[in-house]
Structure 1
């Protein structure tokens, strides 16, 4: 297979269902498989080896509760034409919709991996592994956490190599400037407003509904945040209530007493609001983030 044929196969990976509902199982499994191509001696991996790794990735980077269906991509990815399974015939002959249980995959040591043509192409072109991985994270995760996703699977972040984009959608280059102006150049969570001359330092425009989920580049879908609060917002550490604009943090957020206190000091506090009502975070976007990104359960009080 040529490099472009391999990349085209990876482009078909499904991640968005029902328009904007996240289903990151397949991209994360593929990234996990890519991470072992250059070092592994076997084309496939045993589900017993893949399961704990995929479970951890889904708990960290997937929607709330997605780890409970962690075995789905291992089985269903074969329908995309880039994955194959090895195991007992009585399991492999099942129809695509008859997903084996976790127990069946474990006890039968079902193995999965890239098809031989794709595997051989990746082995022959080590640089292709990095290109494919970068395209996947570019297409499915916001910029704030792409490096974290690649680090978690043991791959290095590289300069994007022509990531496929929706030809009907282009990012608005003025989005950041509009959002920062609306919030008067300060983080809406902590008030961070450090500048060097006229240049804001460490201040970013966070999409509430991710651009990858067709979130618009409108100010009502953006919030000015420092880089730290932007990252934890994209990881689902807190959500924003649509009526009161209060910040509610996840019970999963933890750390040293000093670190967690600094972060959790904002639990229940109100967002620093923009300077005009038309810039307020749109309830529909806040609801999407609460359903698709926030890590339940929320903290009390």
Structure 2
């Protein structure tokens, strides 16, 4: 059985690029817990809070109860559920899962394979991360579910699911289009090249952000990219920041920051026009903005005070 292929083909609700990372998040969580305790079960009542937090932080704005993937992941052959009544999930209802003391864990054949081949676990995790989340979130997500991907170094002999190849020119094209400055705040730091930059200077803390995530058919093109500093890239991918159709910065009302730094670097951005791109470069395309607003941006935007 090709577990990587099965991981890559989890059955999910899908419509017009909508995100449905519920099963991938549960499977990542289960892989992390397997690393910690290969024999342990995940009783729904005990892990419900963890799964809710994962869905709130890494899922779309229209959040779903963790009972949904806990039940439906069984259909993909990687997960099993048992209750006081015996094998099988009692349904998607929270009351049913709690009342029958439902507990889930990785399917028996998968657990046996992971014991024989430890390198399979990080390869499965990498498939889930690459297909459902942008690279800027991978480290935080692994930490959140307790995953250690160090074993990934042994991947060379294993099979991997077919996937699109990234265009390595994307970063340079986007940074050039935005003249090496953050489109939200104007940060333009470089390392080396003397006090004024120049020959030998290397941009530092600047990244090419996909507006429509690459994992969701977002193209490696300038019109799907923004040059952002590391802070604003992370906040953009977390749904704290967004862009409206007039190419102005959106700030989520759900974001709370009481410090002067939070006000200066985040809330004060509300309504600010994007910096760039330079003349002749294509600005972010409307369909990509619409996808990010619907699938990543959290809640409603703060009122703008900028004219």
Same fold, judged at TM 0.5 (above): yes
Pair 1:52 & 2:55 matched: no
Say which is worse superposed, 225-234 or 261-270, in terms of deviation: 261-270
Identify the match of residue 237 of structure 2 among 234, 238, 242.
234
Q: Partner residue of 1:184?
A: 179
Say which is worse superposed, 131-140 or 263-272, in terms of deviation: 131-140
Q: Partner residue of 2:188?
A: 193
Provide, for residues 87-122 of structure 1, a one-character-per-residue CA deviation record: whole Å limited to 9, x for no partner.
25599487xxxx431111111111111111111222
Q: How many pairs align? A: 290
Provide, for residues 146-175 of structure 1, a one-character-per-residue CA deviation record: whole Å limited to 9, x for no partner.
101101011134457475343xx3222211
Pair 1:208 & 2:211 matched: yes
Q: Partner residue of 2:170?
A: 175
Identify the match of residue 128 of structure 1 among 90, 106, 120.
120
Q: 1:38 is paired with a residue of what secondary structure?
A: helix
Shift of the 295–231 alpha-carbon distance from structure 1 to 2, 3 Å rule, reads same
Q: Partner residue of 1:113?
A: 105
TM-score by length of 2: 0.87
1:16: how far off? 6.9
CA RMSD for the aligned pairs?
2.3
Q: 1:85 is paired with a residue of what secondary structure?
A: strand
Provide, for residues 231-278 of structure 1, a one-character-per-residue CA deviation record: whole Å limited to 9, x for no partner.
110111111111x21111112223441231122121121111211365
- Within 2, Cα distance between the matches of 1:233 and 1:15? 24
Q: Is the 8 A contact 1:14 1:23 kept in 2?
A: no
- Within 1, Cα distance between the matches of 2:281 and 2:255? 32
Q: Partner residue of 2:302?
A: 299
1:73: how far off? 0.8
Pair 1:249 & 2:251 matched: yes
Q: 5+ residue gaps in structure 2?
A: 194-200
Q: Partner residue of 2:132?
A: 140
Say which is worse superposed, 143-152 or 244-253, in terms of deviation: 244-253
Q: 5+ residue gaps in structure 1?
A: none
Q: 1:123 is paired with a residue of what secondary structure?
A: helix
